[in-house]
Chains A and B, each alone.
Chain A
Amino acid sequence: MSDRRDFLRTTGAAAAAIALASAPRRASAAPAYEDLDRFQSGASKELLLEAINAAKMGGASYADCRIARFRQNFVVTREQQIINVVDTDTLGCGVRALVDGCWGFAATRDLTRAAVTGAAREAVAIAKANRVARDRAITLAPTQAYPNATWKSAFTTDPFEVPLEQKVDLLLKANAEAMKVPKVKFVNSILFFVKQERQFASTEGSVIDQTFVRSWPLFTATAVADDFSDFQNRQGVEAAPMGRGFEYVLSADLPGNARKWAEQAAEKLTAKPVEVGKYDLVLHPSNLWLTIHESIGHPTELDRALGYEANYAGTSFIAPPDEKLGKLQYGKPLMNVQGDRSQEGALATVGYDDDGVKPDEFLIVKDGIFNDYQTTREQAPWLAEWYAKQGKPVRSHGCSYADSWASVAFQRMPNVSLLPANDEATWDDLIAGVDRGIAIIGDGSFSIDQQRYNAQFGGQVYYEIRGGKVAGMLKDVAYQIRTPDFWNSMDKLGGKASYELGGSFFDGKGQPGQVNAVSHGSPPARFRQVNVINTGRTS
């Protein structure tokens, strides 16, 4: 996952040297008037068909075209003042062509017939040029055609229709609540909204129109010791980013939670530093989502396992596939991990992926055993042998995604979630089974190696557990894991009622880098004898 700090740094008003000193970035702005009219009237669908026909005429055995509008809105505040209000808007067209087993891709901002068919011809030309370097021809797993499909994510109030005053008012109210707490000197809060309208057509006969809305309230309270000897942050990460609208922001209730978060920031100043050692851990879903993301989500991406991401994100300890599928003991039999793009309100949820595939729900880990990788149409055939053994058809799990009309689609993470126990077990039940341990709420610091073995995670608040009960707050806690050992130490899960979603807008992968928004659900879970370090060094 990319660093949240980087995002905060670039959206904050203090980011003085904006783009000038750094890279020219991809398009981030508003469409020309006539193009926008064409897009909004639906006339761009004709352009989709023109583009894929042009690719076909050029010799493509398969082609798809995406015309999409991407919008963002940020409202950034601190204490009782506004720091930044930003709107971005961009519209364009990307065409992908498969010629003689090689991909080509080209994109244009201009939504004219000449421009999109020109992009299609360019994509074909690039595919042909890449032929000299071809090792094996790309083949695509079959998919159904969806000739007139529409889909909309789970939002009721479009955040782009909500007046700015209402957004500002909500943030400043939350900030004011936090500032009432003694020692809390600073508050930063942000509302971040994304809207994507994506139209897709492919030579398989699909024409798909989808609308996505995502919302993320961010909140940080900072407490400072009177003598300036210490400071502590508490981020309100339980208000996770979601594939929902402004109604979600209201339900996340920043003003109602701000005081509690601020009080915990202040309490951290006097919390007991953790003693280094092995502890039983009870991890809240607001912490565990990120551990799932890093130690299950990433190593089960098939392109990583086969070496395609070695120069940046890395490879995977779950390789080669034929030695791991059906064999690797990821955890105890209580562990089941699902990949899907169907959970309502989750960030990676879609009707159809960027290959035009309707994603399915699949078990990545089944009864503790590694069972399947995340795949696209290009990748699913690589596992044909495994699927044949299972008596399953070769089909993509629908994990294709491009983060902009100007980006090429590749394999990205679906929602990857740890399924809850089939009982009513609660957070307190898990704690009751721990003699000496630590309960952790919220995600914090995170880092994992390039094959996803060794990871270290922090949190927002830590509580000591003694004799099955919470005994007070700790600070400076981080847990270090070796992925298979950690998941095999998990011995109890919360039940269905305790299941929650966490997630990120900024899962990074690929060169040049693309971001993916993804959610991870889980119940709270208990892990035995995990290595805990104290991060509060002074020299």
Chain B
Amino acid sequence: MTPRSLYAIAPHLSRAECEAITKKVLGFSTADECRVTVNSGMRQNTRFAVNQISTAGDDYNASVNIRSVFGKKVASVSVNRLDDASLKAAVENSERIARLAPDDPELMPELPPQRYAEPIVWSDATASLEPEARAEAVRAVTEASRKAGLVSTGYLEAQAGSGAVANNRGLFAYSRSTATAYTTTVRTPDGTGSGWAGASDNDFRRINPAVLAERAIEKAKRSANPVAIEPGRYTVVLEPTAVANLVQLIVGSLNARNADEGRSFFSKAGGGNKIGEKVVDERVTLISDPLDPRVPANTFGGDGMPNTRVTWIENGVVRNLAYDRFWAQKSGKEPSFAGGTLRMEGGASSVEEMIASTERGILVTRFWYIRGVDPRTILFTGLTRDGTFLIENGKVTRPVKNLRYNESPIFMLNNLQMMGRPERVSASESGGPGQAIMVPAIKARDFNFTSTSDAI
């Protein structure tokens, strides 16, 4: 088995170590204000292709970011050496650059000490996922695929680390977190079928490799030799991963300032923003709650702001947008941000019920290469991938060739028909853990597919 790095530092810096480092840096500082951020941790990964492990590695890091302010002048420097001379040099460097910088008229003073809820984002099981355990998880997929006469590729990543922020007004925050994701793509040897399965969690014990294997293998088999269908508007049944691929795009548009400045979907014609307006189906509610045990996140942000529960959309109505401290002050609002977690409330329908109620539609496993097209409507393009099927008269009848869409999650959530129970999913394109996200499967009408693809 792959040995752990001989040069592994402690997997992450402890609270006491972070306190010592930040105290030292603040002691070196001669600036009017100084903020120091410490991040440390490891990324453990195992990759496989063609039914065998191709690479495996443990990757450790510790870095310190120093932000110095003189009057309204500010600059940041980051270092990955924790010896006194390096830290002192970094402080001096950030102060030298800050003095040269022009004034930032929007600079906000450092926060005084804050109260934080205890975060629930750490799992010993994830933090101790050694190469042997990863290899075992890999074999659950590769062996099953080999037995099925299929070809598997995949990636398992587990992160464990700590973060701390402190400033010269006495603020100090510290937390530890873990995150893991396991994704696999299983293909038929002749390349005519491809199936995907994936999962993401803070706790690796909640990921079942055998279940992922079964799902990807089944999809690979069922997707072989797809037929082309005409692009156009279709009723779709989207599995939770596909829903998350699109719904998470709304988060990137929640910035209140952009809305108020007239350059966002959330801008209101004539000025202002859409807080209080109904923008999607009344069954849709979107919440970021760092203390939700199913999709937890850290309880503070990079500047030491507490990360608290925010309801973005409630029963289809915009309730909040994200305000940075400057814009919040200017607008008379409380600062808020989407701190690495998102949950969409669901309904009670099963995917089977959604299929059974569909006369003609398309079942989608996931979307891929999703890129923005029009920020005015949060319109994105991308393609279906690794398991796309035709639904006819309430049954999945055959695999279809992949389709490109040009669609907005806003339009999609206006055309909502049915929702399932929310599930936590892996919705990052790269296969890394990404943000914690939990959404239901949905059925929606008039989903806009604009062309077909020969890609399998």
Contact = CB atoms under 8 A, between A and B. Distances in A.
Contacts of B332: none
B1 interface: yes
Interface stretch (B24-32, B312-320, B350-358, B372-380): B372-380
B84 to A, nearest CB: 10
A435 interface: no
Interface stretch (B46-54, B238-246, B389-397, B416-424): B46-54
Interface stretch (A210-218, A412-420, A530-538): A530-538
Contacts, number: 344
A20 B185 contact: no
Nearest to B157: A512
B153 A126 contact: no
B54 to A, nearest CB: 7
B104 to A, nearest CB: 6
Interface stretch (B89-97, B203-211, B437-445): B89-97
A16 B83 contact: no
B163 A20 contact: yes
Given A14-B255, A20-B300, A109-B80, A511 B6 contact: no
Contact of B61 (A18, A27, A229): A27
A381 to B, nearest CB: 17
A82 B78 CA distance: 19
A29 B431 CA distance: 26
A14 B327 CA distance: 10
B6 A119 contact: yes
Contact of A115 (B7, B42, B79, B377): B7
Interface string A190-232: 0000000000000000000000000000000010110111110
A18 B450 contact: no
Contacts of B61: 24-28
A449 B456 CA distance: 9
Contacts of B404: 447, 449, 454, 456, 480
B302 A311 contact: no
- A interface bracket (residues with beta carbon within 8 Å of B): 35 or more
Most chain-B Cβ atoms within 10 A of its Cβ — which of A23, A28, A224?
Answer: A23
B383 A449 contact: yes
B78 A537 contact: no
Interface in A7-24: 9, 14-24
B409 to A, nearest CB: 13
Given A24-B43, A408-B57, A536-B374, A17 B302 contact: yes
Interface string A64-108: 000000000000000001111111111000000000000101111
A160 B455 CA distance: 44
Interface in B288-309: 297-298, 300-303, 305, 307
A515 to B, nearest CB: 11
A227 B402 contact: no
B160 to A, nearest CB: 8
Nearest to B432: A23
Contact of B105 (A81, A86, A110, A308): A81
A404 to B, nearest CB: 10
A30 interface: yes
Most chain-B Cβ atoms within 10 A of its Cβ — which of A83, A164, A227, A317?
Answer: A164
A31 B81 CA distance: 6
Given A28-B63, A165-B100, A312-B155, A89 B79 contact: yes
A20 B298 contact: yes
A214 B245 CA distance: 33
Interface string B331-348: 000000101100000000
Nearest to B87: A30
Given A3-B371, A30-B78, A22 B154 contact: no
Most chain-B Cβ atoms within 10 A of its Cβ — which of A22, A126, A222, A536?
Answer: A22
A68 to B, nearest CB: 14
Contacts of A22: 340, 435
A133 interface: yes
A450 interface: yes
B302 A32 contact: no
B371 A21 contact: no
A132 to B, nearest CB: 9
Nearest to B41: A24
A30 B86 contact: yes
Given A118-B6, A133-B53, A222-B263, A311 B154 contact: yes
Contacts of A49: none
A17 B374 contact: no
B370 to A, nearest CB: 7
B140 interface: no
B47 A511 contact: yes
Nearest to A20: B163
Given A24-B159, A29-B81, A228 B431 contact: no
B375 to A, nearest CB: 8
A20 B271 contact: no
A252 interface: no
Given A33-B83, A454-B451, A228 B7 contact: no
A310 B74 CA distance: 44
B385 interface: yes
B382 interface: yes
A448 B2 contact: no
Contacts of B83: 32-33
Given A85-B97, A130-B53, A454-B383, A449 B453 contact: yes
Given A30-B79, A108-B7, A511-B432, 16 more contacts: A3-B372, A16-B302, A16-B305, A17-B302, A21-B340, A81-B105, A85-B76, A89-B78, A106-B6, A115-B7, A135-B52, A228-B267, A315-B187, A449-B368, A478-B381, A511-B47
The 7 residue pairs across chains A and B that have the minimum distance between CB atoms = A24-B41, A29-B80, A21-B340, A18-B302, A454-B453, A451-B455, A24-B161
27 contacts: A17-B298, A29-B63, A29-B64, A29-B90, A31-B80, A33-B86, A83-B104, A85-B97, A85-B98, A106-B5, A125-B3, A135-B52, A185-B261, A224-B263, A230-B376, A231-B375, A307-B151, A309-B153, A311-B153, A408-B57, A447-B369, A449-B404, A449-B453, A451-B453, A478-B373, A511-B431, A537-B379
Interface of A: 3, 5, 9, 14-33, 35, 81-90, 103, 105-110, 115, 118-119, 121-122, 125-126, 129-130, 133-135, 163-165, 168, 172, 185-186, 222, 224-225, 227-231, 233, 307-312, 314-315, 317, 319, 406, 408, 445-454, 456, 458, 476, 478, 480, 482, 508, 511-513, 531, 533, 535-539
Interface of B: 1-3, 5-7, 12, 37, 39-43, 45, 47, 49-50, 52-57, 59, 61, 63-65, 74-81, 83, 85-86, 89-90, 93-94, 97-98, 100-106, 151, 153-155, 157, 159-161, 163, 165, 175, 177, 179, 183-185, 187, 191, 194, 252, 255, 257, 261-263, 267-271, 297-298, 300-303, 305, 307, 324, 337, 339-340, 368-377, 379, 381-383, 385, 402, 404, 406, 408, 411, 414, 429-433, 435, 448, 450-456
